[in-house]
């Protein structure tokens, strides 16, 4: 599953005090991810339980980009679709 195919459903803290992200995959199954875990095309950089957000570093194979990656943020409560698109665009503009 790619980052685009998973949906953030919850953020929790385990008994050791480490943040855990709860996702639903494209197969409608539940998954837990921790910082450093990988999905098909990305790695979990950070989990912010207070803000309900998870940041992924997605590998991008685009020779025009300076950086071979982009950071993708998944949120529990998206502010709105336009701001999410603007956020993704700002990531791509930074790399240009």
Mean pLDDT by runs of 10 across the 96 residues of the chain is 85 91 90 90 90 88 81 80 51 48
Give the whole-angstrom CA distance, residue 9 versus residue 23: 5
Query: Residue 21: what pLDDT?
Result: 92
Residue with tokens 């095309």, as numbered in its chain = 41
**What pLDDT, on the 0 to 100 scale, is given for residue 96?**
46
The whole-angstrom separation of Cα 65 and Cα 76 is: 29
Claim: this prediction has a pTM higher than 0.75: no
Quick one: pLDDT at residue 84?
53
The backbone torsions φ and ψ at residue 92, rounded to the nearest 5 degrees and listed phi first, read -75, -30
Note the pLDDT of residue 69: 84
* DSSP summary character for residue 3: G
Q: From the centroid of its chain, how far is CA 14?
A: 19
Rounded Cα distance between 4 and 15, Å, is 29
Name residue 43's beta-bridge partners. Answer: 38, 57
On whether the CB atoms of residues 31 and 6 are closer than 8 A, the answer is yes
């Amino acid at each position: 599953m790619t980052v685009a195919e998973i949906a953030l459903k919850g953020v929790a803290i385990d008994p050791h005090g480490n943040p855990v992200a709860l996702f639903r995959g494209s197969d409608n199954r539940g998954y837990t991810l921790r910082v450093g875990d990988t999905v098909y095309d990305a790695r979990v950089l950070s989990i912010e339980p207070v803000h309900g957000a998870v940041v992924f570093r997605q590998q991008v194979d685009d020779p025009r980009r300076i950086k071979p990656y982009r950071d993708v943020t998944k949120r529990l409560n998206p502010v709105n679709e336009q701001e999410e698109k603007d956020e993704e665009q700002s990531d791509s503009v930074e790399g240009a």
